[in-house]
A and B are shown apart, each in its own frame.
Chain A
């Protein structure tokens, strides 16, 4: 498939124009027509009177059906073994580097999840976003070791076989990069929701509570922080408060039913639920317990947030409550009629309590429906029916979490932080504008 694209020139997404087909109204969804006379009527009819037209929708008239080729030929035989891949017709669904901001190398770089094509809260493993600091190693699990040392009674080493012997814990959690959205603060730079919000993924993680392993090593009194280090070429490292580590952190070896992919930390990574993605250190091979943070480059010169008066906010771990509409979203074009506005909401501080949707650029809001399950520090799907009459509109979502925190607008955030340069922790409301002709565009700022 083509990967040629120019996001700044228009609404072409990945070499084709995406479009969201309008949903049929209940009155026109009469597919179970067995009466030949009625079929003929529908085939003949070029217009329909009454309520259907009044809704702004038009009724497509079906052509005679031929038996599909797939029903008249052999299918593909079952191979002796296989790893299934998506249909060749789904080639547009790709994890991508952004071309809004281009790094001049692709080792310390990132790729983004195509949220506009994600149905339900689980991101497929091949589409989990990437952020690496020196590319992707592919580590032999037989050679991998995890070490715990520092302020512990007994330094310990674990093999992957050792770790797989522990009782396992499986949990659904989102993972979001602190840099998600950093290209789109005060004016639109990105076209698609993949580019604005694609440093976000969600899945079911399986592993072992870090607290069990630390208990085994014996934590010294006075310990307050734990350093986690990866075995990648950046030896990426972060300090995490011991309280959080003992609370809910996992060493994870599996995601969505299979061992981690190499780019997601195979064979072992940390998962720090609800916190900025880079503290969930991939290719984890060392934990060191200490009484204070290390103040690494990754927690001083990077992953800090510009604040007024030339200051920087440090150890800003929480990914605060946020939501985004994924369908319809930037780069799509829609037709008048019924649509289901779809999107995701999440909070690093708890569960999602409610999601509101505006159709008029924020003047009025209405509560959306949330799909089960609504889980702690996990994506939630929201849905809102919308009969688009065809005029210009600006749609957006706003989430509230179980702490009562309300997702802010960019304007709210600019009142309290400095928006200058590479600004992380963007959880502002994301508006999409719909033109009179149905073109959906990024309306941030």
Chain B
């Protein structure tokens, strides 16, 4: 048994630790900051190479550049077709990236950039960060704009002579723009029936 003298200190220690544990009725919320600072300041210029995200609703973050549908087809055929297939209709590894617009009210929803993306800059953001899968972040800014233009054109969303750049891409109206609702669960209403259920 701890001595009487030790007990108050022990109790205080338990209370202090309790904030950071899951014991009893304690929550898992973050304990107060310990007041130590080990981060090193970095300038925005020094992290520019990492700053690749696009806010896709309005295109914030899109870099200066441009690409055409025709240029996009050339890049696509060289670097994307082997997985996604000719004309983005599906290949040996992935399914189609064309079509599906209007399919969501049927029993077979076809998910493509054309049918699914609510905002066109998603194409730029995703291609830049993740494609091609074996050499992500290898395409130039102009190549990314061009492939974005090509995929949008194949889906009938922009014309053959479209040019995508830091201004035009965000202005493209996507068919599924209003296709989303924000999480509204819980949506089920199960009851805890114990006998004579169903």
In the complex formed, the residue of B with least CB distance to A285 is B50
In the complex formed, the residue of B with least CB distance to A308 is B105
The segment from A46-54, A117-125, A232-240, A254-262 that touches chain B is A232-240
Contact of B104 with A313 in the complex, beta carbons under 8 Å: no
A307 and B129 in contact (CB under 8 A), knowing A216-B39, A301-B113, A421-B109? no
Identify A104's interface contact among B92, B125, B136, CB under 8 A. B92
Known: A246-B30, A307-B181. 5 other contacts (CB 8 A): A158-B38, A163-B38, A248-B27, A248-B28, A316-B185
Contact of A290 with B55 in the complex, beta carbons under 8 Å: yes
The segment from A24-32, A327-335, A400-408 that touches chain B is A400-408
| Contact residues in A for B116 (Cβ distance below 8 Å) | 300-301
Identify A294's interface contact among B31, B43, B53, B118, CB under 8 A. B53
Contact of A376 with B113 in the complex, beta carbons under 8 Å: no
- Residue B3 lies at the interface, judged by CB distance under 8 Å to chain A: no
Q: Residue-by-residue, is A265-306 near B (CB-CB < 8 Å gives 1, otherwise 0)? A: 000000001000000000001101010101111001100101
In the complex formed, the residue of B with least CB distance to A419 is B107
In the complex formed, the residue of B with least CB distance to A363 is B197
CA–CA, A226 and B111, complex, Å: 27
Distance in Å: Cβ of B99 to nearest Cβ of chain A: 14
CA–CA, A294 and B108, complex, Å: 28
Contact of A365 with B194 in the complex, beta carbons under 8 Å: yes
Contact of B30 with A149 in the complex, beta carbons under 8 Å: no
Contact of B182 with A314 in the complex, beta carbons under 8 Å: yes
Q: Residue-by-residue, is B1-44 near A (CB-CB < 8 Å gives 1, otherwise 0)? A: 00000000000000000001110000111110110111111111
- Residue B191 lies at the interface, judged by CB distance under 8 Å to chain A: yes
10 interchain residue pairs of minimum CB distance: A156-B39, A310-B104, A209-B30, A235-B129, A408-B188, A310-B105, A162-B38, A406-B190, A408-B190, A157-B42
Contact of A294 with B186 in the complex, beta carbons under 8 Å: no
Distance in Å: Cβ of B131 to nearest Cβ of chain A: 9
| Contact residues in A for B107 (Cβ distance below 8 Å) | 420
Contact of B194 with A301 in the complex, beta carbons under 8 Å: no
- Residue B172 lies at the interface, judged by CB distance under 8 Å to chain A: no
Distance in Å: Cβ of B193 to nearest Cβ of chain A: 7
Contact of A320 with B52 in the complex, beta carbons under 8 Å: no
In the complex formed, the residue of B with least CB distance to A108 is B133
A166 and B34 in contact (CB under 8 A), knowing A134-B133, A313-B181? yes
Distance in Å: Cβ of A216 to nearest Cβ of chain B: 5
Contact of A155 with B30 in the complex, beta carbons under 8 Å: no
In the complex formed, the residue of A with least CB distance to B102 is A310
Chain A residues at the B interface, C-beta cutoff of 8 Å: 104-105, 107-108, 133-134, 147-149, 154-158, 162-163, 165-167, 169, 171-173, 209-213, 215-217, 227, 229, 233-235, 237, 246-249, 273, 285-286, 288, 290, 292, 294-297, 300-301, 304, 306-307, 309-318, 320, 354, 356, 362-366, 373, 375-378, 398, 400, 405-409, 412-413, 415-417, 420-421
Identify B136's interface contact among A235, A247, A376, A417, CB under 8 A. A235
Identify B109's interface contact among A133, A363, A420, CB under 8 A. A420
In the complex formed, the residue of B with least CB distance to A168 is B20
Contact of B197 with A365 in the complex, beta carbons under 8 Å: yes
Identify B53's interface contact among A229, A363, A365, A406, CB under 8 A. A229
| Contact residues in B for A317 (Cβ distance below 8 Å) | 183
| Contact residues in A for B109 (Cβ distance below 8 Å) | 306, 310, 420-421
CA–CA, A363 and B133, complex, Å: 50
CA–CA, A315 and B125, complex, Å: 19
B: number of interface residues (CB 8 Å): 72
| Contact residues in B for A421 (Cβ distance below 8 Å) | 108-109, 111
Identify A309's interface contact among B105, B180, B193, CB under 8 A. B105
Contact of A420 with B108 in the complex, beta carbons under 8 Å: yes
A300 and B119 in contact (CB under 8 A), knowing A213-B39, A234-B130, A377-B28? yes
Contact of B39 with A162 in the complex, beta carbons under 8 Å: yes
Chain B residues at the A interface, C-beta cutoff of 8 Å: 20-22, 27-31, 33-34, 36-44, 47, 50-57, 83, 92-94, 104-105, 107-109, 111, 113, 116-119, 122, 125-126, 129-130, 133, 136-137, 176, 179-198
Distance in Å: Cβ of B63 to nearest Cβ of chain A: 16
Contact of A312 with B189 in the complex, beta carbons under 8 Å: no
Contact of B188 with A412 in the complex, beta carbons under 8 Å: yes
> What are 22 contact pairs spanning A and B, CB under 8 A?
A105-B93, A105-B133, A147-B47, A155-B42, A165-B38, A167-B36, A171-B28, A285-B50, A290-B55, A296-B122, A300-B118, A301-B116, A310-B104, A313-B184, A314-B181, A315-B183, A365-B197, A376-B28, A406-B190, A407-B190, A415-B188, A416-B188
Contact of A301 with B117 in the complex, beta carbons under 8 Å: yes
CA–CA, A420 and B93, complex, Å: 22
A292 and B55 in contact (CB under 8 A), knowing A248-B30, A301-B117, A314-B181? yes
CA–CA, A260 and B189, complex, Å: 39
Identify A167's interface contact among B34, B39, B83, B125, CB under 8 A. B34
Contact of A294 with B56 in the complex, beta carbons under 8 Å: yes
Most buried by B among A216, A233, A297: A297
Contact of B44 with A149 in the complex, beta carbons under 8 Å: yes
In the complex formed, the residue of A with least CB distance to B130 is A234
A412 and B190 in contact (CB under 8 A), knowing A314-B180, A315-B182, A421-B111? yes
| Contact residues in A for B193 (Cβ distance below 8 Å) | 365
CA–CA, A108 and B186, complex, Å: 30
Contact of B122 with A295 in the complex, beta carbons under 8 Å: yes
CA–CA, A307 and B92, complex, Å: 30
Contact of B198 with A311 in the complex, beta carbons under 8 Å: no
| Contact residues in B for A312 (Cβ distance below 8 Å) | 104, 176, 179-181
Contact of B129 with A301 in the complex, beta carbons under 8 Å: no
